Amino acid sequence: MSTDQKGGPPPDPSVSAGTGLVPAAGLVHPNRALTRRGFLRGVALVGGGAVAAGLAACAPAAAPAWTFGPPAPSGGPAASPGPSAPASSPTPTPSMDHGAGPSPTASPSSSPATSPGLAEHDLKAKEAVQRFLDGEWDTLPRPNVPLEPEIDGDVKVFRLTIDEIEHRIDARKPPLDALGFNGVWTGPLLRVVEGDRVRAIFTNNMRETTGIHFHGQETPNAMDGVPFVTQDPILPGQTFTYEFVAGPSGSHMYHSHHNATDQVGRGLLGAFIVDPKDPAKRYDRLYGATQDIVWISNDTLGGFTINGRGFPATIPIVAERGEVIVIRFMNEGLMMHPWHLHGMPMRVVARDGYPLGSAAFTCDTLGVNPGERWDVVIECKNPGVWAFHCHILSHVEGKEGMFGMVTALIVKS
Ligand SMILES: [Cu+2]
């Protein structure tokens, strides 16, 4: 085992990793105390009003296919027609009809849930934001919890089960019939150092066959995890052992490579991070990063998710002003997602684990295709609550407000 993998105190999986915020090698996680209470303190620091304002900023005011019309100035229901609509009709649209809104004939007094100036869709949008602010993310099992390897001589051994599980993307929707490694989606975070010998032992507890692929690793061909190409499928009840030398370094993944549209879509996925052998090339040393955050997107079972969660149960990122953080975007879904951060840019430093070097670039919206991993560095220089979301707007907002691929970067003042 490399003894230089972790230079700081041992990680606290119950907090740091559990929040989806994982300590980089050699780092003391500054938000290991990130709890619902701590999050709310962070929110208080920047002002609760800023939260709503910041999040609302990512909502379109109007779009051709989604027009609610202006709120009634008297405080009545916002059923008034849009500028181009006939005066006697609301403004429904075929795909995004705002069916929950008050009827055009409703009087203010007949719609007690409607606040002055706000329509019902406003109230539902507000409720979703409030659930996020209330810390719904803290009521569910944490994703990306590191799995500490057993040490067998010079081999790091990870034991994983492949399970049929129930999984919740938020606290209110009913549980989904999902799949997971060691009973969870996203699977445990596996982290090693470049050059480590890795042995990953998978036991299939499902009622179906599978195979596991370490995505991005230069494994021996027989360890590539593709049933009928490099191995037989792992039958229900069987165990299969993958062994290889970790490399290249960087942000990688492990996932099903059999019936994968279905199995990965249902949650058979996890992060596999290989730290560079040279500590000087790790993100804490290279960029002064003090948070190292895994961000796995998926878009099948449960809809549009970040680390197995949909807004408002997505986990916020909380940083001190001036803190430098790293986010590792990993796309396990079937479509591209352009991640957009409000308020400050992202410096893109690696693609698929390979450092970009002098080709590093700065942006505020980064498209991540299926299978890709992109590492970004963010200098959290601007205090506030900044929406952080996929910019395919139908992945983040519907007639009941924001959902799916939305979270926030909260920079304390
Ligand atoms: Cu998207």
How many helices (H) does the chain have, and how many strands (E)?
5, 24
Total tally of structural domains belonging to the chain? 2
Instruction: Tell whether 203 is covered by a domain.
Output: yes
Q: For residue 295, report the distance from its CA to the centre of ligand 1, in Å.
A: 13
Instruction: Tell whether 123 is covered by a domain.
Output: no
Instruction: Tell whether 310 is covered by a domain.
Output: yes
Distances (CA, A) of 204 to 265, 301, 312: 17, 20, 32
Instruction: Tell whether 147 is covered by a domain.
Output: yes
Instruction: Tell whether 161 is covered by a domain.
Output: yes
Same domain, 161 and 203: yes
Look at residues 228, 263, 278 and tell me which one is the last residue of a structural domain: 278
**203 upstream amide cis, omega within 30 of 0:** no
CA dihedral 31, 254, 199, 10 (to 10 degrees): 0
Q: For residue 39, report the distance from its CA to the centre of ligand 1, in Å.
A: 25
The whole-number pLDDT of residue 114 equals 59
Smallest Cα–Cα separation from 330: which of 408, 389, 273? 273
Smallest Cα–Cα separation from 175: which of 190, 185, 188? 185
Q: For residue 211, report the distance from its CA to the centre of ligand 1, in Å.
A: 27
Distance from C-alpha of 387 to C-alpha of 405, rounded to nearest angstrom: 11
Q: In what order do the strands lie in the sheet with 250-256?
A: 190-193, 269-275, 250-256, 212-215
Cα 397 from chain centroid? 16
Q: For residue 335, report the distance from its CA to the centre of ligand 1, in Å.
A: 7
Same domain, 274 and 312: no
| Local structure of residue 102 (DSSP, 8 states) | P
Look at residues 278, 303, 324 and tell me which one is the last residue of a structural domain: 278
Q: For residue 405, report the distance from its CA to the centre of ligand 1, in Å.
A: 6
Instruction: Tell whether 82 is covered by a domain.
Output: no
Q: Which H helix or E strand runs over 285?
A: helix 283-287
Distance from C-alpha of 374 to C-alpha of 368, rounded to nearest angstrom: 7
The whole-number pLDDT of residue 115 equals 73
Q: For residue 310, report the distance from its CA to the centre of ligand 1, in Å.
A: 12
Q: For residue 276, report the distance from its CA to the centre of ligand 1, in Å.
A: 30
Q: For residue 338, report the distance from its CA to the centre of ligand 1, in Å.
A: 6
Q: For residue 303, report the distance from its CA to the centre of ligand 1, in Å.
A: 10
| SS3 of residue 125 by DSSP | helix
Q: For residue 299, report the distance from its CA to the centre of ligand 1, in Å.
A: 8
Contact predicate 244/190, CB 8 Å: no
Q: For residue 13, report the distance from its CA to the centre of ligand 1, in Å.
A: 29
pLDDT one digit per residue (tens) for the chain, 413 residues: 333 333 333 333 333 333 344 433 333 333 333 455 545 454 544 433 333 333 433 333 334 344 544 444 443 333 333 333 333 333 333 333 333 333 333 333 334 455 788 999 999 999 999 999 999 999 999 999 999 999 999 999 999 999 999 999 999 999 999 999 999 999 999 999 999 999 999 999 999 999 999 999 999 999 999 999 999 999 999 999 999 999 999 999 999 999 999 999 999 999 999 999 999 999 999 999 999 999 999 999 999 999 999 999 999 999 999 999 999 999 999 999 999 999 999 999 999 999 999 999 999 999 999 999 999 999 999 999 999 999 999 999 999 999 999 999 999 99
Q: For residue 59, report the distance from its CA to the centre of ligand 1, in Å.
A: 14
Structural domain boundaries enclosing 392:
38-58+285-411
Same domain, 179 and 249: yes
Q: Name the residue with tokens 């001589």.
A: 153
- Phi, psi of 191, rounded to the nearest 5 degrees: -135, 125
The whole-number pLDDT of residue 116 equals 81
Query: Cα 412–185–140 angle (5° rounding)?
Result: 50
| Local structure of residue 42 (DSSP, 8 states) | H
Q: For residue 401, report the distance from its CA to the centre of ligand 1, in Å.
A: 16
Q: For residue 217, report the distance from its CA to the centre of ligand 1, in Å.
A: 26
Same domain, 216 and 329: no
Same domain, 298 and 209: no
Burial (CB count <10 Å: 0-12, 13-18, 19+), residue 325: buried
14: left (phi over 0), alpha (psi -120 to 50) or beta: alpha
Q: For residue 297, report the distance from its CA to the centre of ligand 1, in Å.
A: 9
Q: For residue 406, report the distance from its CA to the centre of ligand 1, in Å.
A: 9
Q: Which H helix or E strand runs over 179?
A: strand 176-181
Instruction: Tell whether 95 is covered by a domain.
Output: no
Distance from C-alpha of 203 to C-alpha of 67, rounded to nearest angstrom: 51
Which amino acid makes up residue 115? S
- Strand-pair category, 346-351 with 361-363: antiparallel
CATH code, 224: 2.60.40.420
Q: For residue 255, report the distance from its CA to the centre of ligand 1, in Å.
A: 20
Same domain, 273 and 291: no
- Would you state the structure tokens that stand for residue 87, as one six-digit string? 């005066």
- Distance in Å from the first CA to the final CA of the chain: 41
Q: For residue 278, report the distance from its CA to the centre of ligand 1, in Å.
A: 35
Q: For residue 340, report the distance from its CA to the centre of ligand 1, in Å.
A: 10
The whole-number pLDDT of residue 154 equals 97
Same domain, 325 and 198: no
- Strand-pair category, 346-351 with 397-398: unpaired
- Phi, psi of 281, rounded to the nearest 5 degrees: -95, 0
Same domain, 223 and 348: no
Same domain, 299 and 241: no
Same domain, 294 and 268: no
Same domain, 241 and 330: no
Q: Radius of gyration of the chain from Cα atoms? A: 23
Look at residues 254, 278, 302 and tell me which one is the last residue of a structural domain: 278
The whole-number pLDDT of residue 329 equals 98
Same domain, 251 and 333: no
Instruction: Tell whether 88 is covered by a domain.
Output: no
Torsion 241-242-245-250 (CA) sign: negative
Q: For residue 212, report the distance from its CA to the centre of ligand 1, in Å.
A: 26
The whole-number pLDDT of residue 43 equals 52
Q: For residue 158, report the distance from its CA to the centre of ligand 1, in Å.
A: 32
